[in-house]
Each structure stands twice: as structure tokens, then as C-alpha cells.
Amino acid sequence: AMTLAFLQTVSFWPAGGISKPHQTHYYTKVVVPRRSSTVRRFHQTLTSSELEAPPAKSDNEVFDRLCFLLDTEPEKTLRLDSTGDGVRGVYLNRAVPKGKEILMVPLEACLRDDVVPSWMDDSLNDDASYNQSEWSTRLAASLIDLQLASDPDLPAQYKAKSKAIDEGKALWLACLPEPESLRASLPVHWKEETLQSAGCAALELAVDSAFFARGEAVFALMAGLRRLPLAADIPSDTLERLCSNALDVVQTRSCRLEAAGASDEGSVDPDDYPLRGLAPVFDFINHGYSSLVGTGGANSDFGVEEISVGSGGKKWCLVVRASRDLNEGEEALIDYGGSTVPAWKCLSSYGFIPEYRPSSSTSEYSADSEQSQFFSPHTAEVYMNGGRHTVYPTSIPRALVTSTATAMLTESDKKVVTEDATLKVDIAARVSEQLQAAAVDLGFDGEQSDGRFNESDDGEIALADPLDAVASRLSASLRGSQIRVLLACAAGLIEGRVGIRY
């Protein structure tokens, strides 16, 4: 009875007082509902007498406690704070010069994908058979193992097979977001109609691919857990949800553990492969694009470094450094990487949509960013001239120019237009007209409700499930982003502000 109750508990992660910024991100206008503003203990995980005291009064007190327990440095440099709309982020308590440390998290405080529990497949413990493509499964197994080790009622013989838990990791577990809220923000879990209402075929294809990969990972984790006697009588759906929840956390909170300044082929000494990990405290830092200049752009870099401690001692840490001079009160932002571009991929990966900047001016982006002339995290899909094309606010693909030029030729002069077709005024006008029509169609195709209400077949209106409403609003937000891109590009074509992208 104890085992069933425990695993049913851990299959639904606690409502944390500190929401993951990937959920309630400063870019995202959707605030995921939470049951409590205080951190709840995870099935009596916090066993220390010092942690048996009443919950902290504020998220920032919990954040300070977490930093202390995990031995992060520098002390008291960061705080957890919120914007006016309640979106949380990590802010600086003091000014930090360019190149100086903002945060250092010891690697021993992190979960790493090169260490897996004994109950997982033996091949995952063999360095010779280390498969980088399975990193999310390994991290999810370590996360589940941490949960198992945190149960005070678990028999000692089972605890011996799990990693020992310390107070800091226990508190971090309690700070993880409520699983159902996180689940609602990830398209891989959305209803088909919600996914289709986003009007993005690329997102649908990505979700289809992720769905089958998820299935394989869940199957592997469940097979491993079934090796534990304590899981023998647990219903499959309970174990499946436990594993799926762990994979959600890994998907939205993991990072690449790589030597600072290393190339894609670099690695953390002494390993010969890049690692992935879950880094407590670090995982509360929000995203900003490194190519974005000014407010909302990344202002910090991170990597693994060997830090000197004590008298001649050293330890490996995940270090966050300021990439420019930072002021007191400024939010620390890091670039989450290629999984945030374009916007639909950011939603698919992390459960939030980047803020759409109406100007989309190229001056907002750094000159050294890849194709900075046309960079924007926001895109739109358009079906024209028999093909699917991706357009940006300030650029269109050359294939669209070529196919439009060909379509405009009269039947008597029909011929294949060469790839060096230019964006002439008449071609720009035709493309602009079609983009405007596509924007109108996308607006009518998607349901314009904010997701708070559902209409039944007989016309009755009722309040929607709060979690369904989260998914619906995110879907509508992505659809709205595409409409803005289409209209911005259409206007830019008429005004001569749109370029051709190869």
C-alpha cells in the first residue's frame, strides 16, 4: 500500500512556489495557474530538522536557501523577482562587470546524463556503449531515482540502490513546477484540435516526431523501473505518467555541460563527449537571444570551468559570466540555443513563445549574428504557387520570388524563370497581396477565443479546463504571431523593406 501511494504521489510533481521560467517566461504572456505561492514539500522529502520548519514566506527566501544548500557562488549576487505581470526571473542584487561571475553551481550539485541508476539497462552504465542520443532518457532516470531516494518510507534495501539525496536537491525537487501545468504548455501533449488551431505544419511535424521518440523513452524507463520489486504491483498508467513527467522536466530544464568557450566538438574534461545535465538554481534563468541588442537580449554566457577552492583545491562548476557590464536590478538572461528559433520550435521545446517585436527592425540585432539582416525568431508558413514557404517579417525566400515570377508569365510567354529572378515591383505586389490573404485565412481558420470558454455542439458555453485553456492560449499566440509576420512582410514588400533570403 505504501509503494502504490508513494508512486502515485511522485507521478504528480508538487506545486512549487518557484515556477520554471520556461513556463512563465518573461516573453510569454500566458501565466500558468498554480495552486500555491509557497513551496510544498515533496512527500516529506525534506528530512532535515532545519528544513522541518514552516515553509518560507517568499519565493526569494526559498531561492536563497537553495543557493546556500547547493554551495553556489558568489553569495547574495542573485535574487528571484517578478515583473509586473507576475513572470519570474533571476535578477542581480549588485552591478557585475563584463566577464565576471554571476553564478557558479558545483557539478556535484547537478544531475548528469553520464551517471544512471542501477535499475536502468546495464548498457547505459557502460562507457563503451554511451549513446548521446539517449541523454534525455538517462537524465529522466536520474531524476526519478532522486525522487525514489527522497521517500522517507522507502525500505533501506531500495534506498541503497538509489543515489543519496541531500537537502539542496530535496529543496530543488520541491521547487519544480506542477507537472500538469508544465504538461499543458508542451505541444507534444496537446489535443489534436488545439495543435491544428496553431496553423503551423512545422510544429505538427515536430510533435509527431517527438511523440514517437517519447514513447521509446517512456518504454525504456518503465522497463527499468519494473526491475525494482517496489514497482511490481504499480499500474502501468501510473508508471507511464511518472516517466512522462520526468521527461517533461528534462526537456524544459536541461542544459549542455560543456567547457567554456568550447566548440560543438568540445567536452567537459575528462570525458570525451559533451554532457547534458539538470543544474539547480541555474535552471531558473530565463532566455534571451544573443543576437538581440538591448532589452530582452542575452547578457550572460555559461560553460563548465575548473575553479580554484581553498588551499590549492579545485572543483568543476557550471559558471555563468556577464557578457557585458550589468547593472544592479537587471535580469540575467542566457541564450537557450538553436531550439528557440523559430518561435514554433521554442514553443515545442520549452513551452513558451518569444515576444513579438512589432518593429522587427534589423537594427535590433547584432551585426555578427548569422544572417543578421534577416534574423527574427518569428516566421510564418504560406502556401503559394504549389509550394510551402517560410517568410520572415523582413525577408522572403528566393524560391517564392522565382515561383511567383513564373506564375505571372502569360501562357504565350511561359518559361522557367532562372534563380537570379529579382524582386521587382510587380512581383512584390503580387506576393504582398497573397500574404495578406493568407493572414486573413489564418485568422478565420483559428478559433479566436482566449481559451477560457468552451462551446458545446448544442451551443452551450461553459468554462474550459484551466490546463486546456493554457494550451489554447499558447496555440492562439503562435497563430497570432504568424499573422503579424505575414502582415509585416506584406507591408514591407510594398514599402521596399523586404529582402530575398537564400
Note the pLDDT of residue 23.
Answer: 38
Between CA 174 and CA 108 the distance in angstroms is 19
Residue 101: phi and psi, rounded to 5, are -70, 135
Note the pLDDT of residue 50.
Answer: 35
Give yes or no for a contact between 218 and 243, defined as CB atoms under 8 angstroms apart: yes
Q: Which three cell numbers stand for residue 379?
A: 516566421
Note the pLDDT of residue 48.
Answer: 32
Note the pLDDT of residue 18.
Answer: 39
Encode pLDDT of 473-485 as tens digits: 999 999 999 999 9
DSSP summary character for residue 469: H
Between CA 226 and CA 239 the distance in angstroms is 9
Give yes or no for a contact between 243 and 226, defined as CB atoms under 8 angstroms apart: no
Question: Strands 461-463, 453-455: parallel, antiparallel or unpaired by DSSP?
Answer: antiparallel
Residue 124's pLDDT band, with cuts at 50, 70 and 90, is low
- For the segment 82-94, the average pLDDT, to the nearest whole number, is 85
Q: Decide if pLDDT at 414 tops 70.
A: no
Q: Where on the phi/psi map is residue 296: left (φ > 0), alpha (ψ -120 to 50), or beta?
A: left
Q: Where are the beta strands (DSSP E) in 95-163?
A: 101-106, 111-112
Note the pLDDT of residue 49.
Answer: 30
The mean-pLDDT minimum among 6-15, 52-61, 367-376 falls in 6-15
461 forms beta bridges with 455
Please report which helix (H) or strand (E) contains residue 309, including its range: strand 300-309
DSSP summary character for residue 244: H
Between CA 93 and CA 59 the distance in angstroms is 16
Torsion of CA 477, 483, 489, 491, to 10 degrees: -120
Q: Which three cell numbers stand for residue 415?
A: 518559361
Look at the alpha carbons of 191, 283, 334, 140 in this order and tell me if their dihedral is positive or negative. negative
Residue 422's pLDDT band, with cuts at 50, 70 and 90, is confident
Give yes or no for a contact between 154 and 148, defined as CB atoms under 8 angstroms apart: yes
Burial class of residue 193 (count of CB atoms within 10 Å of its CB; 0-12, 13-18, 19+) = exposed
How many H-runs (helices) and E-runs (strands) does the chain carry?
13, 16
Question: Strands 380-384, 387-391: parallel, antiparallel or unpaired by DSSP?
Answer: antiparallel
Q: How many CB atoms lie within 10 A of CB 172?
A: 26
Note the pLDDT of residue 258.
Answer: 84
**pTM of the entire structure?**
0.81
Give yes or no for a contact between 489 and 498, defined as CB atoms under 8 angstroms apart: yes
- Residue with the larger pLDDT of the pair 275 and 324: 324
Note the pLDDT of residue 134.
Answer: 86
Give the largest CA-CA distance in the chain. 88
The mean-pLDDT minimum among 39-48, 245-254, 357-366 falls in 39-48
- For the segment 24-38, the average pLDDT, to the nearest whole number, is 30
Q: Where on the phi/psi map is residue 226: left (φ > 0), alpha (ψ -120 to 50), or beta?
A: alpha
Residue 128's pLDDT band, with cuts at 50, 70 and 90, is very low
Q: Decide if pLDDT at 301 tops 70.
A: yes
Between CA 502 and CA 290 the distance in angstroms is 23
Residue 223's pLDDT band, with cuts at 50, 70 and 90, is very high
Q: How many CB atoms lie within 10 A of CB 265?
A: 8
Torsion of CA 471, 476, 479, 481, to 10 degrees: -100
Per-residue burial over 395-413, b if 16 or more Cβ lie within 10 Å, else e, is bbbbbbbbbbbeeeeeeee
- For the segment 416-441, the average pLDDT, to the nearest whole number, is 84
CA 7 to chain centre: 26
Reduced to 3 states, what is the DSSP secondary structure of residue 106? strand
Please report which helix (H) or strand (E) contains residue 198, including its range: none
Q: Which three cell numbers stand for residue 501?
A: 533570403
Note the pLDDT of residue 445.
Answer: 63
Residue 240: phi and psi, rounded to 5, are -65, -45
Q: In the chain, what percentage of residues exceed pLDDT 70? A: 70
Note the pLDDT of residue 25.
Answer: 34
Between CA 390 and CA 395 the distance in angstroms is 9
Note the pLDDT of residue 409.
Answer: 79
